[in-house]
Structure 1
Amino acid sequence: MAEQIMVAFEGEGAGVDDLSWGQLDLWMAMRRQNSWLPMGGATPLPDDTSLADVVENLRYLMSRYQPMRTRLRFDADDRPSQVVSSSGEIALDVVEAGDDDDPAELADAMRRRYEETDYDYVTQWPMRMGVVVRSGRPTHLVAIMCHLVTDGSGAAVMIAESGARVATPVKGMQPLEQARWQRSPAGVRQNEAALRYWERLLRTIPSRRFAGSDDPRQPRHWRGEFRSQALHLATQAIAARAGMDASPVLMAVYGVALHRMTGINPVVFRPTVNNRFRPALADVVCTVAESGLCALDVAGVPFSEALARTQRAAMTAYKHAYFHPVHLQDLIASVAAERDPDFDLGCFYNDRRITTRAGATGPAPTPDQIREALSGGNTTFRWTIRQDDPFERLFVHIDDVPDTIQITVFMDTHFVSPGDAEAFLRGMEEVAVEAALDLVPQGQTR
């Protein structure tokens, strides 16, 4: 059992408005997945951390960032609005570790409790924070927040600012201001341009992403974790040879492997776009990311050409990944009614790396290093979760792990079988190694 310290806070900005597009896009995903998508974790604290430091950290976060002070309100039709408060108080849980307790285990138990306890969007603040102490000294911090607070890029800004105790005004357009801008003539033009792009693709691409699963399971929805040093080294080698960042290389690898798995061309998927290249959104702490739409024609071409096509298609997709999610949902439903009742776009790609995204800065990996990693038992795969609550049909996340590529895959086994999902991830490694070593797969010319 934890005792609680009530922490008062006060910050700039308050009001009620529609959800911003980024908030609404995530809210709709949360509803589809029946989850409040908790993010955060448990971390050990430096030895000189005091309980007062932890209290002030929580007060800082709640006071500085409007999304931390945001709850939801629902109208008679269950449509949500954002409600930003200027002040309030929040509980900090404090758990005392006894002589026989492992503080790390207590922190992990607190993390699980925070994540597994339902969240009330209307009455609760979106942050849950607790601290484990031993003999009065904090040993571990647990912080879990609702994903509606921010996306990964915003979380990185929040961590950096809270660590440095930045006191200058927050940067960027806050969600209340975003909602107002999105109703403005400029916002309407952006939305209409994005929807025109989407409609052109929706009317021409194949109506389905997957041929279907030959091994549907119960529980139906699975999550797996894949790690590959060879994939990491191969993408770095390709990027060095092409004179570019490794991120578009990995997206091209994903596209080619997806085509090989499904046999469908063009490959169509929804990349997560952080939208922070847009004015006033670069350093904002909130949710502005949305899922774009990318179509790649990669059948029967060398990897160098697939990479060039990926770069062009991705840039166009990023430009049109800022839109009103309900308007897009209506457009997709309208096109599906005309083309195919089972029309689906449930194929997602999210390169969520922050610190490791730019990749290595030293010499490019050599062919021998890639071969050694491939044969050295450094590629692993494991299933981590099986559940009835839904995931998307296929969602691939590239994780922020140094010196390797870690991929977390979520899928619906009624559309992608467990065997196909694992083979697809190993296929990404195969595609990258072939390209890095300049190998030509059977049936394809240079």
Structure 2
Amino acid sequence: MPDTYLPAPADTTGIRATTRIPVRFSGDGAGTGPLSWGQREIWLTMVRQRSWLPIGGWAALPAATTVEDVAADLRWAMRRYPTFRTRLRFDADGVPLQTVAAWGTIGLDVFDVPAGADPEAYTAAVDAHYRALDYDFVAEWPVRMGVVRVAGAPAYLSTVTCHLVTDGVGGRLMLREVAARSETVPTTGLQPLEQARWQASPAGEKQREKALRHWDRMLRQLPPPAPLTERPGPRHHRGEFHSAALYTATHAVSVVFDVDTSQVLMTFLAIALTDLAGDGRPAVIRPMVDNRFRRGLGDVVAMVAQHGICVTDVAGLPFDEAMRRTGIAAMLAYKWAYHDPAAVATLSETLDVDLEAGIWFNDRRTLSRQMFPGDKPTAEQVRAAAPGEFRWTVAQDDPFDPLNIDVDDEPGLFRLTWFTDTWRTPPARVEALARAVEALAVHEALLALETRNP
């Protein structure tokens, strides 16, 4: 594959780099091979969603940062992280392979804020520009980086990467290492080419078969493919639910029962899903699992997160028993989330079940994931916490996951971002589910505070 150095692209938004600086790099781990399981799963998601799933963002640069400083950071990152040097190649059947380059040149864009423009708004526009541009998986490096200068001085940096590069946890690891790169030890984690080789080994095949047996048991409890109800307008919607009440109640239940906060949230979801469905089937939750607890993946900057499958029957159970069962099901989901997604897809077709049943659950919290800040809420604080506000923010024809919830921290509340295929789950039903989860959480928190821990 050639040493790719593409000129800065033009578009119709008025966002165009003043210049593009060539940054030469080299690094270890070059080669070509199959995608790893994590890469394969995100690739299937990209194909389904017709998107290269750009991730990243923009931030202010430290004072006195030079363009040369940013170029040095980019060169260092390209050398250190093989995923930054990874592009795709397709075989005769259209199957993607990953190819890691030993050397190359990447462009660092430099933008100048026009006179009279708001610098932060302009930087946000640069970031949006990077995300909106089509991405060539074969020819382009999977990193787009731009320095934004204000009055000639570097002030902001936008970095956007293809999701094949890494997941969210890997992105945070990378940012931490770049900030402290003079102290960074050599990489020790298995890079994607090494992961793919292990997955093809006898040990990897053993993991694949064990995981597939778990998925077989779970898939047999899923319904057949669901009929779709066509609706006018864009098919896929995204909405946000900001709730202090759910945040406070989850905090209280987690402390009173001494249970992991994600398990508490998944239990609320399982009960609400069961109650709203009313068909007697177990609740299906597809948690996003960070597989870095596995040997060799702890500190790797790569796409290793995968969706697990949690099937739990909580109909009519007392809350503490529902939480216990959900915890067991979740533990198994996390254990066997390290799987071959192509094999699972084939199995679901063989069984003729709806692999898109249930709800995808991505708990992305960093502040309250392990432990909420502050003391255990009182019953008065649970009652006083403001109920959530729901608003729909995006409607589009390109698909999201069929029904997905991302959970993020905000000061004193949760931000739940909901994605839905309205032909499967209409917006009113999604909003009803969000409010049912909140109401259940408040009810169980008050009950727990008043009866278990007076």
What is the TM-score of this pair, normalised by structure 2?
Answer: 0.91
Query: Any residues of structure 2 matched to 1:155-304 within 5 Å, and which?
Result: 155-165=171-181, 166-207=183-224, 216-264=231-279, 265-304=281-320
- 2:283·2:358 contact (CA, 8 Å) conserved in 1? no
The number of equivalent residue pairs is: 431
- Determine whether 1:306 maps to 2:322: yes
3-state DSSP of counterpart to 2:158: strand
The residue identity in structure 2 corresponding to 1:417 is P
CA deviations on 1:345-392 (whole Å, 9 max, x unpaired) are 363111122344223243101111111113xxx622211111000112
Residue 86 of structure 1 deviates from its aligned partner by 1.6
Partner of 1:422: 431
Report the CA distance shift for 1:32/1:177 in structure 2 as closer, same or farther (over 3 A): same
Query: Any residues of structure 2 matched to 1:35-434 within 5 Å, and which?
Result: 35-165=51-181, 166-207=183-224, 216-264=231-279, 265-336=281-352, 344-345=356-357, 347-374=359-386, 379-434=388-443
Using the alignment, how far apart are the partners of 1:346 and 1:364 within structure 2? 32
Residue 422 of structure 1 deviates from its aligned partner by 1.0
Report the CA distance shift for 1:346/1:368 in structure 2 as closer, same or farther (over 3 A): closer
Moved more, 259-268 or 237-246: 259-268
- 2:223·2:357 contact (CA, 8 Å) conserved in 1? no
Using the alignment, how far apart are the partners of 1:255 and 1:6 within structure 2? 52
Moved more, 176-185 or 419-428: 419-428
3-state DSSP of counterpart to 2:303: coil
Using the alignment, how far apart are the partners of 2:358 and 2:78 within structure 1? 35
Report the CA distance shift for 1:207/1:269 in structure 2 as closer, same or farther (over 3 A): farther
The residue identity in structure 2 corresponding to 1:127 is V
Instruction: State the percentage of identical aligned residues.
Output: 47
- 1:9·1:88 contact (CA, 8 Å) conserved in 2? yes
Query: Any residues of structure 2 matched to 1:6-45 within 5 Å, and which?
Result: 6-45=22-61
Using the alignment, how far apart are the partners of 1:141 and 1:367 within structure 2? 45
Partner of 2:4: none
Using the alignment, how far apart are the partners of 2:346 and 2:233 within structure 1? 31
Residue 153 of structure 1 deviates from its aligned partner by 1.2
- 1:393·1:415 contact (CA, 8 Å) conserved in 2? yes
Partner of 1:443: none
Residue 103 of structure 1 deviates from its aligned partner by 1.1
3-state DSSP of counterpart to 1:53: helix
The residue identity in structure 1 corresponding to 2:80 is R
Using the alignment, how far apart are the partners of 2:231 and 2:321 within structure 1? 35
CA deviations on 1:225-276 (whole Å, 9 max, x unpaired) are 1111111111111011111331211111121122222224200121111111
3-state DSSP of counterpart to 1:437: helix
Using the alignment, how far apart are the partners of 1:227 and 1:233 within structure 2? 12
- 1:237·1:365 contact (CA, 8 Å) conserved in 2? yes
Using the alignment, how far apart are the partners of 2:364 and 2:374 within structure 1? 23
The residue identity in structure 1 corresponding to 2:199 is Q
CA deviations on 1:104-133 (whole Å, 9 max, x unpaired) are 111111111111111000010111111110
Using the alignment, how far apart are the partners of 1:434 and 1:289 within structure 2? 33
The residue identity in structure 1 corresponding to 2:66 is S
3-state DSSP of counterpart to 1:327: helix
3-state DSSP of counterpart to 2:148: strand
Unaligned runs of 5+ in 2: 1-15, 450-454
Residue 98 of structure 1 deviates from its aligned partner by 3.4
Moved more, 126-135 or 199-208: 199-208
3-state DSSP of counterpart to 2:385: helix
- 1:41·1:111 contact (CA, 8 Å) conserved in 2? yes
Partner of 1:444: none
Report the CA distance shift for 1:179/1:45 in structure 2 as closer, same or farther (over 3 A): same
Aligned-pair Cα RMSD in Å: 1.9
Using the alignment, how far apart are the partners of 1:401 and 1:171 within structure 2? 34
The residue identity in structure 2 corresponding to 1:83 is T
The residue identity in structure 1 corresponding to 2:253 is I
Using the alignment, how far apart are the partners of 2:58 and 2:156 within structure 1? 7
Unaligned runs of 5+ in 1: 441-446
What is the TM-score of this pair, normalised by structure 1?
Answer: 0.93
Using the alignment, how far apart are the partners of 2:29 and 2:232 within structure 1? 48
Using the alignment, how far apart are the partners of 1:81 and 1:178 within structure 2? 13
Using the alignment, how far apart are the partners of 1:245 and 1:20 within structure 2? 30
- 2:127·2:160 contact (CA, 8 Å) conserved in 1? yes
Residue 411 of structure 1 deviates from its aligned partner by 0.6
The residue identity in structure 2 corresponding to 1:201 is M
Moved more, 344-353 or 27-36: 344-353
